[in-house]
Amino acid sequence: MNPDALLKLKMLKSSMRCFIFGLLGFIPVLGLPFALAALWLSGRVRRLEKQFWNPAEPYRIAGAVCAGISLILWSIPVIIILGSVFWQLWVSV
């Protein structure tokens, strides 16, 4: 099979996976790794888009946007909780 065709298929599959991971990023707290994975996949696909046209580009963009929003949304409570725990440990010492 043509190596360019394989790269295009990999790019399409990764774009769709980025979209799915971006949506899974909205799961409270457990979605943080999915959001990070979606952003990482988006970066990898974006590099391939410089060589080939990606018909699934809207899915990649939507996945990256969802991942960014969910990363900000769910990292705030995690930071607050961890900060509170460390504050209590520091005050009690």
Q: From CA 39, how far away is CA 30, in angstroms rounded?
A: 16
Scanning 25-56, the segments in alpha helix (DSSP H) are: 32-49
Per-residue pLDDT of the chain (93 residues; tens, 9 = 90+): 788 888 899 999 999 999 999 999 999 888 999 999 999 999 999 998 888 888 999 999 999 999 999 999 988 998 999 999 999 999 987
- pTM, two decimal places: 0.84
CA 25 to chain centre: 7
Write out the H or E segment, with its range, that includes residue 73: helix 57-92
Percent of the chain with pLDDT over 70: 100
Sorted by where each begins, the domain ranges of the chain are: 3-92
Q: From CA 32, how far away is CA 10, in angstroms rounded?
A: 24
